[in-house]
Structure 1
Amino acid sequence: MARPMKPRRPFNAPGPTRAADGPRRPDAPTGPRRPGRPAGEFAAGAWLWGHHAVAAALANPARTCRRLLVGADSGGALAPVLAAMPDHRRPPVETVERAALDRLLPAGSVHQGVALAVEPLAPPDLGDLLDSLGAGQPATLVLLDQVTDPHNIGAILRSAAAFGAAAVILPDRHAPPITGTLAKAASGAVEVVPLVRVVNLARTIVELQEAGFVCLGLAEEGPDELVAGRPAERVAIALGAEGEGLRRLTRERCDRLVRLPTGGPVGSLNVSNAAAVALFAIGRPERPR
């Protein structure tokens, strides 16, 4: 069934401004510049922190970078990335005390002495994603059903990048925004793996099936084990929230339910660990029989 034509947003282009991660501090840049406000303050979408997240954002040509704060002993690792950036994209760099970063960022942020103010990326569109993959081309997608913890979502994005998944898809309702916490957990994967938000996951599964994807639901009670080797050229693996698992309608829409071959005294995995194992298994060549 052909999808109805609709306007496409530029894939992974800068998008509208969102609130930054965590409560604003008095010394954090926020809002449009007003008369009398210091020149260093500006409108910013979010703060990213940590070497991997910041370096990936600087290297992403679709990301607008506004201001880079570095500790006196922390900016050297970013020098090659900054040198490779064209002048119009390179943000101003300011050396600050680590205590200033502690005050600026949410409590407990492991910033490693670097923080970058950025504009958020535009949320990718499912239709644009499918168009970019091409008809019939091999691809792996990850579907998240009610997974809301930004640390888990970030870790899943990191595994998706490591094992070559084309995107992570999740319902827009109750899903956290891409904040510094999520980006830090993703270790740079936010810049390379699209995080696609959809209105209805069950309908999205049907759309993926129409595009040639085999949709597998990961569930402890699945009748079949997920063994090493691709079950199809185009695979979407659905994972549910810890405790609740996949919702009923999501289960019914999947082509089949599968389980990981776990055992021992602890028979289940954290959702981000389960995603990593599943992506590794799907990506491996089939074992000789």
Structure 2
Amino acid sequence: MDLQHLLFITLISLIACCIIMFLVWLWAKNIKNAGVVDVFWALNFPVITVITFFLSEGFETRKLLICAMFLIAELRLGIHLWQRVIGHLDEEEGRYQQLRKEWGDKANLNFFWFFQFQAISNVLLAIPFFIITANPSPQIATWEYAGIAIWVVAFFGEMIADRQLAEFKKDPKNKGKVCDTGLWYYSRHPNYFFEWLTWMAYFIFALSSPWGILAVISPAIILYLLTKVTGVPNNEEQNLRSKPVAYKKYQETTSAFFPWGKSQEER
């Protein structure tokens, strides 16, 4: 594994992501909707995938496997977010409206750095991908098969959770109610849980590659971001503002992240 070449690929990926996020920031500033950053955060990963596939020097079959996993998962997420955000460009999501209010006159500048941080996070999270595609070993190992199996569960879990929530929101009868059916019965954020599990799959896959243990940084960062920063906390605040009584009861009986059974109080 050529460390210098690996750093070169990482740098090229970072430059590409930062340029994309700068252009997205200009667009978001013009339309006054910072929510588009979510879409392009997901779509930056396919960009990294293409760059790495053509520049990395690892075993071709392994490259095809991990590139396919990366592309399928992130394109699905990007398309899902595109449909959710682009459908109402004239209405910024609540969490970004709140940030805009808190930042006041500095909102545009702060969003610029926020968007650039997303680009940096793209590259940090892609560390397993860089490591895996540089692995020259011609044999697919047990850890890699285990990673694929976990990825399949995570991919379909997240897709089902997103679809269940979308169907729930489509029904006018559910306005003001909390989605607590299907996977949402077991977790308040099953989509976030399976997104994290996807990154765990990449980490497991990377364990058979040189320096693969470093890939743990990706699921660790995702877990922190989803549970402490931009995922669960922002979503919970928005839900408590829009449906305080119903969501408070949901919080008391249902796990925030990991899918568990209902609490004793619910039973």
TM bracket, shorter-chain basis: under 0.3
Counting helix residues as a fraction of each chain, which structure ranks higher? 2
Q: Normalising by the residue count of structure 2, what TM-score does the alignment of the two structures yield?
A: 0.26
Counting strand residues as a fraction of each chain, which structure ranks higher? 1
Q: Normalising by the residue count of structure 1, what TM-score does the alignment of the two structures yield?
A: 0.24
Larger Rg: 1
